[in-house]
Amino acid sequence: MVAYDEKIIEGPNNNNEALVYSEKVQNTIDEILPSNNSLDRPDFDTIDYINMMFPTEQSLANIGDVINSLECKVDSIKSEIRSDILGQKEVKKVGQAGLEEAQCYMKQLFSQIKELKQKAEHSDEIVKDIILDIKQLDSAKKNLTASITILNNLHMLVSGIESLRGLTTKREYGEIVMPLQGVTDVMKHFKNYTDIPHIALLATEVKQLQESLASQIMADFHEAFSGSNAKNVVPNRQMAEACLVVSILESKVKDELLEWFINLQLSEYTHLFDNVEDVAWLDNINRRYAWFKRQFLQIEETCRAIFPVQWELPKRIAVEFCVITKNELSKLMGKRKNEMDAKLLLYAIQKTVAFENLMSKTFSDSTITQTEDASKSNQQLATITKVEEIVQPLSNELNVSENIIESVTTPVNNIGIKKISSSFDGLISDCFQPFLYIYIDSVDRNLSELMERFVNDVRITLAKDNIDDQTAYVLPNCADLFLSYKKSLVQ
């Protein structure tokens, strides 16, 4: 290959500088006008191109033809450029016209947008006015509804008061229940309007009617159960309906009625078993419970016929009986504790616990729950300690088998502090807690006497048989002694 001198091709501006575009512009040109011609490449090298066209000296013979061909191509390109420049003038005119038309459309669009914005603002104001009107209508509807409701309640209140006046005078308690309940419920709605004179006057009338009904019903019950014909009283429907009226009145009315009726039913009991009476002492304690059992059958029949079941009046009477009995026995035992012995105390506790168990079964749904008194637990623990203090030295002295000691102490150590779930357990028998020391001291004395007698018998037996104290010897009555201990502790 022959190397030729590099030639610089002058551009259209007749300067020696080649046109170089930026990479972005060049890429855009390549996308719009793709070309495979090496002359269109931005890194075009003239010398390489000439060497490619004329690789040998012999090829220079055709240089004239190549030059002519290139000149023709240049003329063709110039012609195209001239045509494009002329056409560009027409495009510029069309583009200018299009631009002006687009600007006109934009002005129109801007004007329309501005108009739409004004209409939207106006619509927003209209919507706000509509919403305000709707809120006002809604508030007016609520006020109207509240006014109608208040007027209806007021009408019900006035008519109910008028109806109650006549029914109260006639003592038609069955007819009173519904209007009284209605008037009571309506008055709750007027609780915030009592500063209005008319409402305050109606509230005062309702209060007076309720007090009048309460006094009238209490008078009816007093007349029926404590009047001149109380012994021949027969439960009737009017009294049962009166209790339904009491359920609607204030709770204190029901409490007063129940308190009076319970005290009336137990008045005979408090009189018969007064502390000054001999029948009140512990040896006759079973007569207390026998009296209540007899009376309870009649009380339950009366309560079932008159009082509502949910009042649980029989259970209330039973609980009150237990409370009175406990208080009276506590006072009585405090005054006459010197007359008490272990046998009498155990008898009273046995009868009392039996009665409490009977009441617990009778009222298995009771809501009262008690737990064992702490003093009782302390006494049980003290007893266990005392037994261990007695038994252990005794076993060392008499050389008793550990199995026998264990058989004695096991039932004692198993004494647990149980939770009393029954409603009546301990309701009366708790009054015996402060006096259990009488029984404990009695057991202690009996066991001490038994121990002393047993030790003396053992010594006599050992001396008679000439048995040394160091010699192992099975005591014949040892098991009997400890079984006696076990029996006492279990009891």
pLDDT tens readout for residues 171-188: 888 888 888 888 888 888
* Euclidean distance between CA atoms 322 and 48, whole angstroms: 131
- What confidence category does residue 260 fall into, taking pLDDT thresholds of 50, 70 and 90? very high
What the block records as the tokens of 100 is: 């002006």
CA distance 439 to 484: 16
Query: In degrees to the nearest 10, what's the CA dihedral of 195, 198, 200, 205?
Result: 180
- CA distance to 458, 459, 471, per residue, from 466 (Å): 12, 10, 11
Query: Is residue 469 over pLDDT 80?
Result: no
83 to each of 72, 90, 286, 448, 469, how far by Cα in Å?
16, 11, 140, 147, 153
pTM higher than 0.85 for the full model? Answer: no
pLDDT category, 280, cuts 50, 70, 90? confident
- For residue 396, which phi and psi values (nearest 5 degrees)? -65, -40
Non-local (6+) Cβ contacts of 118 within 8 A are: none
Rounded distance between C-alpha atoms, residue 348 and residue 288, angstroms: 11
CA distance linking residue 434 with residue 333, whole number of Å: 10
Which of 76-90, 376-390, 420-434 comes out lowest in average pLDDT? Answer: 376-390
CA-wise closest residue to 261 among 324, 317, 326: 317
Question: Tell me, what's the pLDDT at 290?
Answer: 93
List b or e across 144-180, with b for residues whose CB sees 16 or more CB atoms inside 10 angstroms: eeeeeeeeebbebbeebbebbeebbeebebeebbebb
For residue 151 the two structure tokens come to 């007027």
- Where b means 16+ CB within 10 Å and e means fewer, 465-479 reads eeeeeeeeeebeebe
Residue 420 falls in which region: left (phi positive, over 0), alpha (psi -120 to 50) or beta? beta
Q: Residue 72 pLDDT more than 70?
A: yes
* Residue recorded with tokens 């007893």: 383
Q: What is the mean pLDDT of residues 110-123?
A: 89
In 336-419, alpha helices (H): 342-362, 374-398, 402-413
